[in-house]
Amino acid sequence: MQFEVWAPQAEDRVTLHCEGATHAMEPDPRRAGWWRAEAPAGEGARYGFALDGGPVLPDPRSRRQPDGPDGPSAVVDQERYEWRAPWPGRGLPGAVLYELHVGTYTPQGTLDAAADRLEHLVELGVTHVELMPLCPFPGRHGWGYEGVSLWAVHEPYGGPEALKRFVDRAHELGLGVVLDVVHNHLGPSGNYLPAFGPYFTDTHHTPWGVAVNLDAPGSDEVRAYLLGSALAWLRDYRLDGLRLDAVHALHDTRALHFLEELSAAVDALAAELGRPLFLIAESDLADPRLITPRAQGGLGLHAQWNDDFHHALHTALTGEGQGYYEDFARAPLAALAKTLGHGFFHDGTYSTFRGRSHGRPLDRTRTSAHRLLGYTQTHDQVGNRAQGDRLAASLSPGLLACAAALMLTAPFTPMLFMGEEWAAGTPWQFFTDHTDPELAEAVRNGRRREFAAHGWAEEDVPDPQDHATRDRSCLDWSEPERAPHARVLAWYRELIALRHAQPDLTNPDLADVKVTFDEGARWLAFRRGDVRVAVNLGEKPARVPLGLRGARVLAAWEPVPAPDADGALSLPGESAVVLLRE
């Protein structure tokens, strides 16, 4: 078997250590900084590389880390798995996504256990599962954003074979699979990349320290490393798309931006495989160039998360106005109306949170609405609260129904966070399992300091290293069968079915969305073709002028009378309705 590694940092020699034997590696004359060697090895063989007589380190391109990030790598035969389900692919237009964390979706916290629960998503009407990061990280439990070994699957989740079984089962059920990948930082624990080459640069800085090297000397190979990893997930595991974490932290001053290069490579792979593939960015830039096609001068990503919609909806529901919610909270229904029809709230407007103008307008005539993801909750928006409390912890079922109606009938591609569909009573908290005691203590203390600055007592902030914090965050699968959860789940199913059945609800034209609202009375209504949606966030009934004299109720959280002679609807407090003009 051929082994190779990019190790320009090696001054004299690189040795391959495989199954107890040592093999000298030779420089590759075709590629500067690369070393190669032949050695007998089969599936599961343990190996690693030593530079200049130093310790044996795992392969930066390891396909498996059976003993965790610090242990030896293992050989994986990608052709060994026999796929059951033929899969033509499933694109993003018309999709309903479901963000899922493998470690807490079930108490077992494995890919196989999660696969056993996929029929629930089919019954819900979801089209794609978006898995939070799977790369190896320290310990057993964590969110996954401190992973290393960008080709490997976290062993406690089941390793690479378990991911293939999960994807196969999802495809058998007609579900696409999206994976959250982190290119903006790695580790820190278990991160041995700096020993091999200039994977990082102090030319730029991120919230996690020095930046990944996308534009400094040596960056050609670093970019190839990230590109190769992304394409491997899509090709070898038959994934349908990738979610790119915090792309605003990918600092790149090159004429050809890394994201443009990645989008071109993914589109080329889609053409080669004959099935649709897509990239979804997490970005706080409010910059439409991310999702503008390359032919039109953009970076060519296929979609992005839209935090502006979330922030407007959150403030309208909760009244919270701290931090980045401040500008939205001044007139939350006006902010919500703007995002529904224009995508971004901050489109060149002043951001109090940032202390400067922020964002840029979307061209509504050229930007399909499905390129923006809309959501009421995500792992970030729940887990980065001090106690990981979901909306269900503080809102009535009626307000949760309003939130669901707005998100699932909005022009954006909707995304649910696991458990929200039944108003899960379990929190989703920040948890880690760092094996380095100093790092564990630093994370614990940092979390407490962060929330102490916002008035939280130390004892009220869960210890991320306590295994009970993870256990509290696991979904309770007995909830969907009992009140009030069962009613919320039925409402989500009804709304998602409507979205699939009514073409107006997947119309990608943002300019076609017409919104009216009353900030004081706390109602908002919008029109999408022949479909009308109205929500009353207030406690008292509201008269909503829809201009409809003939309409059929498609879905209603509470019974509503027919529109009056003036075409106005009397909408009960904290309720939502979807109507079809006749």
Q: Which residues are catalytic?
A: 245, 282
Q: Is residue 47 a contact partner of residue 7, using CB atoms and an 8 Å limit?
A: no
For the chain, give the number of residues: 582
Residue 246, C-beta contacts closer than 8 angstroms, at least 6 positions apart:
182, 184, 282, 283, 284
Q: How many Å from the N-terminal Cα to the C-terminal Cα in the chain?
A: 68
CA-based torsion, 208, 209, 213, 216: positive or negative? positive
Cα-based distances in Å from 69 to 512, 526, 547? 50, 50, 62
- Rounded CA-CA distance 87/89 in Å is 5
> Alpha-carbon distance 133 to 128, whole Å?
16
Q: How far apart are alpha carbons 143 and 145 in whole angstroms?
A: 6
Structure token digits, residue 405 = 């109606």
Helices (H), 343-383: 379-383
| DSSP character at residue 177 | E
Long-range contacts of 478-484, Cβ-Cβ distance < 8 Å, separation of 24 or more = 479/422, 479/424, 479/425, 479/426, 480/120, 480/422, 484/397, 484/423
Answer yes or no: are the C-beta atoms of 509 and 529 closer than 8 Å.
no
What is the per-residue DSSP string for 144-162? STT---TT---GGGTHHHH
User: Does residue 178 contact residue 130 with C-beta atoms inside 8 Å?
Assistant: yes
